[in-house]
Amino acid sequence: GIQVEQSPPDLILQEGANSTLRCNFSDSVNNLQWFHQNPWGQLINLFYIPSGTKQNGRLSATTVATERYSLLYISSSQTTDSGVYFCAVEVDSWGKLQFGAGTQVVVTP
Partner 1 sequence: DAGVTQSPTHLIKTRGQQVTLRCSPKSGHDTVSWYQQALGQGPQFIFQYYEEEERQRGNFPDRFSGHQFPNYSSELNVNALLLGDSALYLCASSFGNTIYFGEGSWLTVV
The per-residue DSSP string of 49-73 comes to -SSEEEEETTEEEEEEGGGTEEEEE
Is 109 buried (19+), middle (13-18) or exposed (0-12) by CB count in 10 A? Answer: exposed
Nearer to partner 1, 73 or 99 (CB): 99
20-49 binders of partner 1 (CB under 8 A) = 31, 33, 35, 40-45, 48
CB of 82 to partner 1, least distance (A): 16
Residue 92 interacts with partner 1 (CB under 8 A): yes or no: yes
Per CB under 8 A, residues contacting partner 1 are 4, 31, 33, 35, 40-45, 48, 86, 88, 92, 94-102
